[in-house]
């Protein structure tokens, strides 16, 4: 059943759908309730795992995140080296169009007629689908 609220027709028209979703009172109530349930479950899980140390763990996690971002070049290089050692071919691109061109070149070289993609947020940012369709 295509076209329902959980399975909208493609391509997604986010701008027009966002306005309608913002006016949908029932949808807003569902989202608020789901968010409350998720947040409550997170608090309970953290409390069960760390008890009175929860805030200290959160602080440490924030510090680890910041350290990783501050040294991202090192960690990306470390990952690329390990992946390459495991037989993976790692590609680097300077921007979205360059990333798309790498994908297109691989698809052409392999004679791809269909592809399955993941990480839609990245592919939406690089506009990979239109590049593949062209």
7-16, 87-96, 116-125: segment of lowest average pLDDT: 7-16
Categorise residue 119: left if φ over 0, alpha if ψ from -120 to 50, beta otherwise. Answer: left
Q: What is the residue-averaged pLDDT of the chain? A: 89
Within 10 A of 129 (CB to CB), how many other CB atoms are there? 16
Reported as a single tens digit per residue, the pLDDT across 47-96 is 999 999 999 999 999 999 999 999 999 999 999 999 999 999 999 999 99
Give the residue, 125 or 91, on which the prediction is more confident.
Answer: 91
Q: Is the pTM of this model over 0.75?
A: no
Going from N- to C-terminal start, the domains of the chain cover 91-134
């Amino acid at each position: 059943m295509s076209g329902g609220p959980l399975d909208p027709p493609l391509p997604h028209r986010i701008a027009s759908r966002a306005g309608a979703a913002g006016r949908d009172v029932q949808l807003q109530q569902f989202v608020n309730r789901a968010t409350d349930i998720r947040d409550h479950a997170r608090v309970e899980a953290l409390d069960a795992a760390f008890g009175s140390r929860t805030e200290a763990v959160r602080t440490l996690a924030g510090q680890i995140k910041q350290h990783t971002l501050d040294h991202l070049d090192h960690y990306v290089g470390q990952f690329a080296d390990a992946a390459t050692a495991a037989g993976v071919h790692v590609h680097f691109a300077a921007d979205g169009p360059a990333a798309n061109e790498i994908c297109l070149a691989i698809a052409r070289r392999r004679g791809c007629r269909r592809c399955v993609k993941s990480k839609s947020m990245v592919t939406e940012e690089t506009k990979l689908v239109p590049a593949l369709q062209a």
